[in-house]
Amino acid sequence: MRFDNHRVVVTAAGRDFGRTLAIRLAELGAEVFLSARGLDAAERVRDEIRERGHQKVHAFACDLTDPSSIREFASGVARHTDRVDLLVNNGSRWLEGPDLLSATDADVIDTIASGGTGTVLTVKNFLPLLLNSDKPDVVTMVSTCGTAGHHRSDAHDAFYAAKSAQAGFTEILSKRLRPQGVRVISLYPPDFDNPDPLSEEWETAPRESKDTLTAQSLVECIVFAVGQPRDCFIKAFHFEQV
């Protein structure tokens, strides 16, 4: 599938999988509006994409723990376009440590706010632009930590809480936005390999049944789901953990 007629928003795209997704969707023809907590990080990714010949990319600062920053991000995008076809909620702070006492109160607040509150407010502020699209999709990168009974990650309890918040939000959002034609798609990956999409490793990473899930496969899941006819609502992708 090509994304030539898609206008795409990707949060937390300054590094890791957000950067990967912004680069790959731009290569597929999308106009990309990417954010990072720091503007410098967002602009670095924007420049990487432009250097590869894709000029339709815009960089913004957005702190997902700050409601005013989220509003400013959405307003900034609205100054460039009257619609958003795909919103990717990629942002959520990782917090490691299976010991509840290992994190400060500030770490706990930041983790839950970025993943939980940040996701809700991002969808809320971009919903008017999504409703202006004839093909609106919301994709959220949750985690196996957001599935009931999961306990295999070394993530902190606060990270589990943030991912459970995302899972509950997207579950109800899928039902409530369907009458308006908005598809809500959630991915629940375990830990996965994320080779640099601009490196040779992107093309050579092993992807057999014995191998760890790759970012390549996650990108392909998103492209597949978004590319389906509008009567096909794929709610979630769940993955076996090696």
Query: Residue 242 pLDDT more than 80?
Result: no
Closest by Cα among 28, 34, 79 to 58? 34
CB-count burial class (<10 Å; 0-12, 13-18, 19+) for 41:
buried
Q: Is the pTM of this model over 0.85?
A: yes
* Class of 7-238 in CATH: alpha beta
Determine the average pLDDT of the residues in 149-173. Answer: 96
Each residue of 24-60: pLDDT tens digit? 999 999 999 999 999 999 999 999 999 999 999 999 9
So what's the pLDDT on residue 1? 83
Cβ burial 136-170 (10 Å sphere, 16+ → b, else e): bbbbbbbbbbbeeebeebebbbbbbbbbbbbbebb
So what's the pLDDT on residue 237? 98
